[in-house]
């Protein structure tokens, strides 16, 4: 019985030792899985196993943090808004027989408030570097927007690098591990794709500038503000400002309010481009409510940008739902531009939703997710530019049609000269200007002689050709300031600003002479000639009107016809004055 009890005792002791050592064994196994083993001289790791810990209290000291349970992960993380202070733990072992110098890269350090590196070995702190990105002044270990921490590993040596990341709102970052040469290459190539994106945005600004010069529309101004807001936000959020100008998000953090002003300009653009206020009142009401919310949040961001950014993702989702619904509604109502805007806006929403999921820690790290907002902004900006161009083209087409209708309303269709309606309206303006300037102005009435005989002998089509031929002759002899019209049938009027009766008679004589020398060949190969009679009158500006001037010149024309046709005659009173002179 005693022996049996001893056996039970030893069995219990064994089980206790086994279970007590099991977590340690598991922890050791887990640490081994999270270890980065270096077994080559070239190290180029943009993704590797590590672990992280979220300091919910935001007050823990380093000595406390290293004793916490870290969560295994890869070196690309997105943890949302509930991880303001996050610690990363990188275990690195040099399996080679030669020493090696390595570099931890933090390419997204530019958007953080604070970054710290802790180098340890066997729980002993070897080195500690703080980078206060929210303060102005020199920032150690910063190369552009990338924080680079160098450390050395002796042969078969293991070290643990802790990285403390303090965010303003959304916690997302990527850590990389390089040898010296790979580190230099990574720094040279950092930010080039985002610089290209910013460059395309700037190109769109230039394009929009020329569109505005040609169209002078409010939409172009709103689009310009959208591009400016988007470009500033992309430059800050993706490190262009840090990589190329040494400006960090923390130093100009207030400019991140552009993430709220940008959708505001987008909503205003939709209102203007589709004229929702007049044409689509329901959609306009929805957009107005959304705009009020965005403007309100933007104003709030001027006082507390950090709090405003924490809810920016949810507000962005609301904005996307409303604007997407409006785009669908306008498309269903057969708005011509809606399908193009819907296409661009769908791309904007798709990539922005990927970014929202990423920033909230709901999706994994990749280049599309992490740069979704920038990609979406660019694609929508391209489509907005197309919509603007298309609308300008449509407006020009409509304007051209309106001008063509106006031209047709003011033009004689056969001769393409101005018609009677246009002449009377324009002549009244010309007479008024002559009175104001105290200058002379003359008018002539011209009639084709024996026109009925031409129609009877050669046919009406030949008569039409005679009218067209004489109309072209008149256009050759008119000045730019003269107004010539077909007054009706075979009768024409010519108004001559700045021309007295003497010079008007000279012009009339040249026209009469050219007409008498003109020869037409009709369809039957007949030679057709014609002459014209012309009555000339210099207006008496003290009492003459358009109607009285035409009547006076018409009396002179009647005198020319009764005197044998193919001649020029002045009104009788002016003829007597000229004869006396």
Which residues form the catalytic set? Answer: 490
Q: Would you report the helix, strand and coil content of the chain in percent, each value rounded to 5?
A: 55, 20, 25
CB 537 within 8 A of CB 443: yes
Task: Residue 378: name the closest of 174, 233, 481, 542 by CA.
Answer: 233
Could you give the angle at the alpha carbon of 312 between the alpha carbons of 162 and 317, nearest 5°?
A: 115
Residue 418 dihedral angles phi and psi, to the nearest 5°: -65, 150
Dig out the tokens for 13 from the structure. Answer: 């002791």
CB 489 within 8 A of CB 420: no
Dig out the tokens for 479 from the structure. Answer: 């000045």
Task: Residue 117: name the closest of 107, 135, 105 by CA.
Answer: 105
CB 384 within 8 A of CB 227: no
Within its chain, how far is the Cα of 6 from the centroid? 86
Residue tagged 């009469």 (tokens): 512
Task: Residue 549: name the closest of 425, 452, 441, 438 by CA.
Answer: 441
Residue 152 dihedral angles phi and psi, to the nearest 5°: -115, 150
Three-class secondary structure assignment of 277-342: HHHCHHHHHHHHHHHHHHHHHHHHHCCCHHHHHHCHHHHHHHHHHHHHHHHHHHHHCCCCCHHHHH
The Cα 211–Cα 218 span in angstroms is: 11
The stretches of 371-459 forming alpha helices (DSSP H) are 372-410, 420-437, 451-458
Q: What residues does 521 pair with on adjacent strands?
A: 527
CB 331 within 8 A of CB 342: yes
C-alpha distances out from residue 143 to 138, 190, 246, 427, 571, Å: 11, 10, 9, 75, 92
Q: What is the dihedral of CA 74, 78, 84, 89, to 10 degrees?
A: 10
Residue tagged 């290209």 (tokens): 196
């Amino acid at each position: 019985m005693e022996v049996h009890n001893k056996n039970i005792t030893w069995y219990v002791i064994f089980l206790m030792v086994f279970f007590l050592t099991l977590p340690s064994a598991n922890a050791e196994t887990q640490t081994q899985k999270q270890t980065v083993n270096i077994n080559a001289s070239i190290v180029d790791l943009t993704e590797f196993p590590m672990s992280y810990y979220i300091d919910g209290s935001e007050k823990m000291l380093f000595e406390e943090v290293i004793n916490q349970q870290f969560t295994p992960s890869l070196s690309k993380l997105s943890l949302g808004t509930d991880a303001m202070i996050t610690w990363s733990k990188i275990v690195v072992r040099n399996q080679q027989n030669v020493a090696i110098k390595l570099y931890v890269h933090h390419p997204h350090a530019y958007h953080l408030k604070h970054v710290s590196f802790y180098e340890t070995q066997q729980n002993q702190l070897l080195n500690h570097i703080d980078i206060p990105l929210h303060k102005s002044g020199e920032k150690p270990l910063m190369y552009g927007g990338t924080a680079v921490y160098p450390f050395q590993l002796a042969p078969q040596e293991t070290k643990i690098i802790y990285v403390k990341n303090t965010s303003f709102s959304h916690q997302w970052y990527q850590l990389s591990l390089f040898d010296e040469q790979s580190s230099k290459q990574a720094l040279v190539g950092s930010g080039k794709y985002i610089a290209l994106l910013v460059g395309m945005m700037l190109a769109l600004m230039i394009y929009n500038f020329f569109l505005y010069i040609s169209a002078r529309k409010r939409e172009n101004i709103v689009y310009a503000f959208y591009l400016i807001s988007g470009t500033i936000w992309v430059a800050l959020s993706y490190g262009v400002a840090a990589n190329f100008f040494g400006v960090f998000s923390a130093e100009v953090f207030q400019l991140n309010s552009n993430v709220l002003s940008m959708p505001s300009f987008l909503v205003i653009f939709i209102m203007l481009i589709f004229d929702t206020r007049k044409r689509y009142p329901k959609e306009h009401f929805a957009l107005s409510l959304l705009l009020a919310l965005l403007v309100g949040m933007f104003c709030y961001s001027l006082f507390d940008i950090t709090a405003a950014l924490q809810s920016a993702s949810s507000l962005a989702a609301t904005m996307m739902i409303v604007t997407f619904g409006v785009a669908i509604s306008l498309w269903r109502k057969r708005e011509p531009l809606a399908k193009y805007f819907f296409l661009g806006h769908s791309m904007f929403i798709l990539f922005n939703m990927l970014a929202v999921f990423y920033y909230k820690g709901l999706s994994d790290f990749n280049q599309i997710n992490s740069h979704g907002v920038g990609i979406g902004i660019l694609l929508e900006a391209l489509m907005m530019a197309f919509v603007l161009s298309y609308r300008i083209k449509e407006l020009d087409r409509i304007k051209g049609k309106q001008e063509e209708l106006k031209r047709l309303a003011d033009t004689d269709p056969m001769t393409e000269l101005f018609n009677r309606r246009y002449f009377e309206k324009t002549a009244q303006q010309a007479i008024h200007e002559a009175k104001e300037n105290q200058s002379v102005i003359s008018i002539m009435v011209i009639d084709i002689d024996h026109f009925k005989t031409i129609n009877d002998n050669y046919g009406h089509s030949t008569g039409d050709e005679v009218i067209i031929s004489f109309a072209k002759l008149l256009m050759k002899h008119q000045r730019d300031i003269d107004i010539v019209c077909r007054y009706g049938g075979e009768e024409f009027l010519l108004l001559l600003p700045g021309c007295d009766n003497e010079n008007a008679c000279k012009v009339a004589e040249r026209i009469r002479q050219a007409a008498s020398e003109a020869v037409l060949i009709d369809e039957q190969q007949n030679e057709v000639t014609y002459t014209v009679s012309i009555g000339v009158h210099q207006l008496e500006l003290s009492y003459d009107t358009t109607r009285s001037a035409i009547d006076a010149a018409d009396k002179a024309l009647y005198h020319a016809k009764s005197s044998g046709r193919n001649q020029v005659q002045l009104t009788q009173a002016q003829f007597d004055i000229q004869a006396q002179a």
